[in-house]
Amino acid sequence: MPAPHNPFKAALKAGKKQLGCWSSFAHPYPVEMVATAGFDWIVIDGEHAPNDLQTITAQLQVLDGKHSHAVVRIPTGNDWLVKQVLDAGAQTVLVPMVDTAEQAAQLVRAMRYPPHGIRGAGAAGARASHFGSITDYVQTANDQVCLLVQVETRLGMENLDAILQVEGVDGVFIGPADLAADMGYPGNSAADEVKSAIKDMLTRIGASDKAAGILGVSEAATQDYADWGAQFLAVGVDVGVFTKAIRDLEGQWRSRI
Residue 101 confidence (pLDDT): 98
Angle CA 95–101–107, to nearest 5: 40
Residue 176 confidence (pLDDT): 97
Which are the contacts of 162, defined by CB distance < 8 A and separation ≥ 6? 100, 101
Residue 1 confidence (pLDDT): 86
The span from the CA of 61 to the CA of 35, in Å, is: 12
pLDDT in single tens digits along all 257 residues of the chain: 899 999 999 999 999 999 999 999 999 999 999 999 999 999 999 999 999 999 999 999 999 999 999 999 999 999 999 999 999 999 999 999 999 999 999 999 999 999 999 999 989 999 999 999 999 999 999 999 999 999 999 999 999 999 999 999 999 999 999 999 999 999 999 999 999 999 999 999 999 999 999 999 899 999 999 999 999 999 999 999 999 999 999 999 998 99
Residue 255 confidence (pLDDT): 87
CB atoms within 10 A of CB 244: 11
Angle CA 217–65–87, to nearest 5: 85
Residue 5 annotated among the catalytic residues of the structure = no
Residue 145 confidence (pLDDT): 98
Q: What is the pTM of this model?
A: 0.96
Task: Please give the sequence-ordered ranges of beta strands (E in DSSP) within the chain, or none if there are none.
Answer: 18-23, 41-45, 69-73, 92-95, 146-151, 171-174, 211-215, 232-237
Which one of the listed residues 48, 69, 116, 130 is annotated catalytic?
48
Which are the contacts of 196, defined by CB distance < 8 A and separation ≥ 6? none
Residue 18 confidence (pLDDT): 98
C-alpha to C-alpha distances, 72 to 6, 82, 252, nearest whole angstrom: 14, 10, 36
